[in-house]
Each structure stands twice: as C-alpha cells, then as structure tokens.
C-alpha cells in the first residue's frame, strides 16, 4: 500500500523531551527542571502584556521594529541585523532551513542542545556530534570535524546542561578557525547569567559567518510567551527573513519583550540573585559530596557516583515534591541538572539531597 511519505530526515527525529512539570498526587511541587526564572517576568513586562488585550483584533507589525530598536539600544547593536522569532528555537529553525539541506552536515557538541540535531534532520541534513573534553567544548575537536559538507556549527555558551563556558580567547579562536563558508551559531540562551559575557556579539561584528541567538525564556522569565532573537551579518539576516512568517510574533509577545528588555533594573536583580544562589548551591552540593563544576548559567549539573545513585536521588527528590532534570540524553546518566531557584528553593533541594544521601 502506498502512503504519503515525509521528507527525508523527518523520521530520524527523536521527539524532544522537556523537563517534567508535575508529580501525580503532589501539590506543593518545586519545579527545577526547565531553567525557568523563579522570579518570573518584571512588573513592567506584565503591565505591557496586559495592555495588549485592547488590541488583539489587530495584526502585529511584521517588521518587529519596536522590539528590534529596544534590543539594539540596550545591547549596543545594529537593529537592522536583528531578527526575532518564536523563541530562539524558531531562529535556530530559520538557520537550519536556510543553510542546510540533504547531503550537508551540521556540527554540534557532545552535551549540546537536542534541538540542533532535531532541526538538522528536519532540514534533511546530517547532524554530526563532536566530543567535548572534560565537559567543555573542545575547539580543536570542533575544527577537526569540519568537512567540505559542513554548513553550520552550533555552540551553546554557556553550555547546557554543563554550565561551563568557552573562555573568550578560545571562542575567538573558534570563530577564526571556522571556514568562511560555514555558519558559526553561538547560542547564548544563558548569556545574561555569565559575568561580563556579550553572548558573542563582538564576534558577530568581526566575522561575516558568525550569528548569535538569544532568548527571553530564561533570565527574562518569559519562557511561556516564546520570544527569542538572533544577531548576525546583514546578508544572513536578510536570508532568514525570507522564511520567517510575517506575523510570527503577536502584539502581546512584541510589547512584552520590549518592556522586558528595557527593564534593566529587574534583569540586574534576577542575575544578581542567581549569581549568589548559584554559588551557595554549588558549595552546598560539594559539601554534600556531590561533584559539581562552577556554573555560568542558571542551573548546576550535579554529578553522582553512578547512574543508579542519580536515579535514586531523583526518585527521593520526587517524593519530596522536587522535580529536577535527568540528563542521560545529554551524555550524563549519572547527572541531575538542577535549576537555580530562589534562596528557599536552593535550601529545599539541598536539604532533600543531604537527607537522601544519609539514608544510603
Ligand atoms: C532554553 C534554551 C534555548 C531557548 O529556547 P527558546 O526557544 O528561546 O525558549 C536555546 N538554547 C538552549 C541551549 C537552551 O537551553
């Protein structure tokens, strides 16, 4: 029998697994599995959101001029070279759709974001996974993996779920080493949490083949609203805009994101709290005998002695109503990724882990 056939690559896609959000029968759930902000969005963003109710019958602007201008002003960028999407996921989708196809390869790293292979398969291209070294992106290994078929290199910095970072000199060496015909994508979903990091903006300015993606989902506390953006060379942004639906972002998304990016006081507060709580969490986990790298993001990767121990700890946390993220699919069967919550959330999760370890 003949049936409609999907395009090549589509059936290779392993469905994305998101962090769980509930535990059956438990009401007081602490969700630390999806790197969401414990503080939510700023009051100014919420006000802007509410005000859009009056205009929901209107189509949104197709050029996102207001939001792009706000992002450009705050970050010191050229507004003409910003593109906005339904989360940075959509910007990543534009990139793979436009720059990779059957016969092409896209590189991502061992512990990299699972959306990269999903989007690469969706474009009919082949994802190529490159080993990291000690939970860090290894520039030499990435450069060595580039072939004549490579079209895109995806790097998450800071990394998820590792929380580690490529230092500036290494990142610059990578950008210099990637051939001019290959697009280097710097995914800065957690850039706000990394002290003094521009997300790769300066490298975008310096190279004609480097693009940065950013999101409102993490530090801005707007994961539910789906807004992200990219910054790149004009020629590449012009290409991406050809496949972008003209009305991809609603008036609500646009107005809320604009207010959010302009509220620097709120962002500073969120980032400051994260930095403080993250340091406390890392130290407390180490004190409890759990291995943990320094993190530059809003989560930490707790590494246990074995997969069994991680699974046992995860089960014990669930019993206490705490959801963290198993990260076996990211190459860490012995790991649990824990979002940095507010102070009481950090205490609660550490308390539960210490209690559990006491029973072993
Ligand atoms: C959370 C995250 C994103 C952001 O996705 P959105 O679509 O903007 O919500 C992008 N990349 C990585 C690595 C992430 O962890």
DSSP letter for each residue of 83-108: EEESHHHHHHHHHHHHH--TT-EEEE
Å from CA of 357 to ligand 1 middle: 32
pLDDT of residue 273: 98
**Alpha-carbon distances, residue 190 vs 94, 159, 221 (angstroms):** 20, 8, 12
Q: Give CA–CA dist 304/82, Å, rounded.
A: 41
* Site of tokens 């001019």: 180
Query: Which neighbouring-strand residues pair with 335?
Result: 303
**What interhelical angle do 115-122 and 87-99 show, nearest 10?**
40
For ligand 1, atom 6: residue with the closest CA: 87
pLDDT of residue 17: 79
Query: Which neighbouring-strand residues pair with 84?
Result: 229
For ligand 1, atom 12: residue with the closest CA: 189
Cα 3 to the center of its chain, rounded Å: 37
Domains and CATH numbers, the chain: 10-40+265-357 (3.90.1150.10), 43-263 (3.40.640.10)
Is there an atom of ligand 1 within 6 Å of 89 CB?
yes
DSSP 247: T
pLDDT of residue 179: 98
Ligand 1 atom nearest to CA at 218: 1
pLDDT tens for the chain, 360 residues long, are: 789 999 988 999 988 877 777 888 888 899 999 999 999 999 999 999 999 999 999 999 999 999 999 999 999 999 999 999 999 999 999 999 999 999 999 999 999 999 999 999 999 999 999 999 999 999 999 999 999 999 999 999 999 999 999 999 999 999 999 999 999 999 999 999 999 999 999 999 999 999 999 999 999 999 999 999 999 999 999 999 999 999 999 999 999 999 999 999 999 999 999 999 999 999 999 999 999 999 999 999 999 999 999 999 999 999 999 999 999 999 999 999 999 999 999 999 999 999 999 888
Ligand 1 atom nearest to CA at 88: 8
| Closest to 110 (Cα-Cα) out of 92, 128, 83 | 128
Å from CA of 242 to ligand 1 middle: 23
Is there an atom of ligand 1 within 6 Å of 156 CB?
yes
Judge contact between 202 and 56, C-beta under 8 A.
no
Q: Half-sphere exposure (CA, 13 Å, Cβ side) for 346?
A: 22
Ligand 1 atom nearest to CA at 159: 13
Is there an atom of ligand 1 within 6 Å of 87 CB?
yes
Å from CA of 314 to ligand 1 middle: 23
pLDDT tens digit sequence for 160-189: 999 999 999 999 999 999 999 999 999 999
| Closest to 211 (Cα-Cα) out of 170, 168, 152 | 152
Q: What is the pTM of this model?
A: 0.96
Å from CA of 226 to ligand 1 middle: 10
Is there an atom of ligand 1 within 6 Å of 217 CB?
yes
Is there an atom of ligand 1 within 6 Å of 157 CB?
no
pLDDT of residue 18: 76
pLDDT of residue 21: 77
Judge contact between 195 and 295, C-beta under 8 A.
no
Q: In the structure encoding, which two tokens stand for residue 172, read together? A: 């610059």
Ligand 1 atom nearest to CA at 187: 11
For ligand 1, atom 14: residue with the closest CA: 189
């Amino acid at each position: 029998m003949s049936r409609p056939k999907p395009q090549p690559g589509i059936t290779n896609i392993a469905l994305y697994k998101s962090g769980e959000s509930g535990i059956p029968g438990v009401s007081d759930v602490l969700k630390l599995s999806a790197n969401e902000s414990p503080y939510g969005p700023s009051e100014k963003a919420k006000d802007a959101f509410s005000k859009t109710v009056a205009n929901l019958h209107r189509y949104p602007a197709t050029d996102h001029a207001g939001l792009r201008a706000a992002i450009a002003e705050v970050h010191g960028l050229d507004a003409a070279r910003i593109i906005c999407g339904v989360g940075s996921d959509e910007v990543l989708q534009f990139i793979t759709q436009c720059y990779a196809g059957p016969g092409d390869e896209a590189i991502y790293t061992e512990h990299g974001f699972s959306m990269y292979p999903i989007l690469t398969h969706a474009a009919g291209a082949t994802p190529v996974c490159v080993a990291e070294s000690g939970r860090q992106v290894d520039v030499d290994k990435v450069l060595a993996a580039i072939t004549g078929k490579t079209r895109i290199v995806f790097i998450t910095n800071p990394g998820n779920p590792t929380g580690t970072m490529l230092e500036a000199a290494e990142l610059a060496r990578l950008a210099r080493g990637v051939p001019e015909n290959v697009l280097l994508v710097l995914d800065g979903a957690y850039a706000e949490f990394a002290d003094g990091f521009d997300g790769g903006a300066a490298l975008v300015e310096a190279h004609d083949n480097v693009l940065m993606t950013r999101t409102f989902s993490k530090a801005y506390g707007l994961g539910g609203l789906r807004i992200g953006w990219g910054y790149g060379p004009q020629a590449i942004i012009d290409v991406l805009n050809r496949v972008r639906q003209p009305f991809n972002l609603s008036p609500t998304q646009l107005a809320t994101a604009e207010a959010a990016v302009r509220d620097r006081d709120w962002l500073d507060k969120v980032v400051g709290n994260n930095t403080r709580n993250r340091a406390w969490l890392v130290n407390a986990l180490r004190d409890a005998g759990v291995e943990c790298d320094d993190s530059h993001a809003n989560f930490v990767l707790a590494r246990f002695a074995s997969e069994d121990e991680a699974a046992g700890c995860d089960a014990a946390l669930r019993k206490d109503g705490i959801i963290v993220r198993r990260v076996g699919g990211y190459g860490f069967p012995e790991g649990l990724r824990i979002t940095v919550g507010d102070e009481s959330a950090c205490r609660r999760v550490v308390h539960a882990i210490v209690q559990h370890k006491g029973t072993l």
